[in-house]
Amino acid sequence: MYLSSPGPVALAHRGGWLIDEQGVCRTELENTAVAFQHAVDLGYTHLETDVHATADGALMAFHDTTLDRATDRVGIIEKMPRREVARARVAGQEPVPLMEDLLGSWPHVRFNIDLKSDSSVLPMVEVLRRTNAWDRVCLGSFDQARLDRARVLVGPGVATSCGPVDVARLRVASLTTLLRPVAPRTPVCAQIPLLRGGFPVLSRDVIGTAHRLGMQVHVWTINDPKVMERLLDAGVDGIVTDNTVALKELLRRRGQWNDNTIANTLRNG
């Protein structure tokens, strides 16, 4: 199960910041195998990433629609064949990974996957079919229709987070005494920011309502340890962060980091 691990869920956002051998924080190697490996080496069992499909249907772990910002090449990913995207290097160093390769590299790690384009939905289903990773991913999207389509295609065995309409329904439910599911198939978690457009999204009522509906609440993207601690004190179930070292240290200090998490995951499958 995607959320079977005990305690607060620590999610490495795009793999998180990488601390190199000289102790220098590398913030530009997002969504690369080296960043994900760094998080796994720290003991993270949940990695957050994004996916786009190439013109020939290869599913790439990459945040932006184009290669322009993060790599040494330019172009719209869904209009390029895989062989061209494969030539790009993130920060001029690391290749853009295939989602299938990431799932295969760490077969017992959970992945939180943001479907960034409509064209990514079917390739995502095919990747899950080939890797048999149905029970260790959570799919999400900022597009409700895209997420609902993915839910139909993957079936109830795959965890999903709240889409924007689901979040709006959750907030409305938190203001009333009437509790009802926020979607035809209730998501396993609401993954939300503190604010959206300057307005608060998270509240203790939202947390309580989500819990009564059987959902966890994960907050993104939190890099300040003081804010992390306040959120944990307020009852959130997970934190998405770039600052993977700080979140680990905080959870350790609170007695909520399990150094044997990876070993337990391997044993339990």
Domain count, the chain: 1
- What pLDDT does residue 4 have? 84
Residue 102 counted as domain residue: yes
Q: Is 192 helix (H, G, I), strand (E, B) or coil?
A: strand
Q: From CA 218, how far away is CA 197, in angstroms rounded? A: 19
Task: With beta carbons less than 8 A apart as the criterion, state whether 59 and 40 touch.
Answer: no
Task: With beta carbons less than 8 A apart as the criterion, state whether 39 and 268 touch.
Answer: no
pLDDT digits (tens, 9 = 90+) for 194-220: 998 888 899 999 999 999 999 999 999
Q: Known catalytic residue: 13?
A: yes
Instruction: State yes or no: pLDDT of 241 exceeds 50.
Output: yes
- What pLDDT does residue 180 have? 63
Residue 24 counted as domain residue: yes
Instruction: State yes or no: pLDDT of 257 exceeds 50.
Output: yes
Instruction: State yes or no: pLDDT of 175 exceeds 90.
Output: no
Going by pLDDT thresholds of 50, 70 and 90, the confidence category of residue 24 is confident
Choosing from 52, 63, 108, 211, the catalytic residue is: 63
Residue 2 counted as domain residue: no
254 token code pair: 């609170």
- Rounded average pLDDT over 58-84: 98
Going by pLDDT thresholds of 50, 70 and 90, the confidence category of residue 267 is very low
Choosing from 13, 38, 46, 52, the catalytic residue is: 13
Which positions ≥6 away from 58 have C-beta within 8 Å?
Answer: 82, 85, 98, 123
Residue 181 counted as domain residue: yes
Residue 236 counted as domain residue: yes
Instruction: Look up the CATH number of the domain holding residue 151.
Output: 3.20.20.190
Residue 134 counted as domain residue: yes
Residue 3 counted as domain residue: no
Q: Which long-range CB contacts under 8 A does 4-7 form with residues at least 24 apart?
A: 4/268, 5/45, 5/46, 5/110, 5/258, 5/261, 5/264, 5/265, 6/258, 7/251, 7/256, 7/257, 7/258
What's the whole-number average pLDDT of the chain?
92
Q: Which domain holds residue 239?
A: 9-268
Instruction: State yes or no: pLDDT of 264 exceeds 60.
Output: no
Residue 172 counted as domain residue: yes
Q: Known catalytic residue: 63?
A: yes
Going by pLDDT thresholds of 50, 70 and 90, the confidence category of residue 266 is very low
pLDDT digits (tens, 9 = 90+) for 104-155: 999 999 999 999 999 999 999 999 999 999 999 999 999 999 999 999 999 9
Over 163-185, what HEC string results? Answer: CHHHHHHHHHHHCCCCCCCCCCC
- What pLDDT does residue 178 have? 64
